[in-house]
Amino acid sequence: MSDAVAGTRPHMTGLADLKEGDRRLTRRMAHWTSPLARQVLPAVESAAERTKLWWAAAAIMSAAGGYRERKAAVAGLATMGVAELVSNAVCKQLYERRRPPKELIPHEDVHDRPDSSSFPSGHTAAAVGFTVAVAGTCPGWGAACAVPAVAVAVERVHSGAHYPSDVAVGTVIGLASAWLVRRAPGLWLRRLL
């Protein structure tokens, strides 16, 4: 008997499967109990709060490097700003999603979650946007920033602040923001000429 005959729509079944997979992966990641996860991830979250980590990276790059590093830092900060605007001021206002339920999260970090929409992860969008923009000008610095960017994405799920799909969409927003910031000057010049 087909899904249509049985009364279920195939796209609804796919959405339910995605939601269930999101919940299972959240539970699995939140249950990581390694000392590394329990010590490093909270420190990463604290550093990434209010984008302090990326402002510090930009300051270090600017102070330690030359013109290319300063250019990379500016591109990273501009991209981070665009990514945060899109994720926090646009997407979170358009789509309200509750944070993962407390029963999925076995540790105390669950009490420190924000009240805003879970979708998408603004921390991840900012981290990926900054990192990709920096890597476009200074690949070495981009590689160095990739390590904490990945840790930020993992921490957002481990702490129960986000589902993996929120982090995935935050990643896409960061990538798109980096592309936009890199291409915007050329696009504007072509329109003016």
Name the range with the highest mean pLDDT among 29-33, 36-40, 163-167.
163-167
Helix (H, G, I), strand (E, B) or coil at 46: helix
Grade residue 77 by pLDDT with cuts at 50, 70 and 90: very high
Residue 144's CATH number = 1.20.144.10
Q: Which has more pLDDT, 85 or 20?
A: 85
- Whether residue 6 is predicted with pLDDT greater than 60 in this model: the reply is no
Q: How many domains does the chain have?
A: 1
Residue pointed to by tokens 């789509």:
95
- Residue 77 CB coordination number (10 Å): 23
Say if pTM beats, i.e. exceeds, 0.75. yes
Helix (H) or strand (E) holding 83: helix 67-84
Q: What is the pLDDT of residues 152-167, one digit of tens each?
A: 999 999 888 899 999 9
- State which residues form the domain around 187: 3-192
Maximum separation of any 2 CA atoms in the chain, in Å: 67
Q: What is the pLDDT of residues 46-71, one digit of tens each?
A: 888 889 999 999 999 999 989 999 99
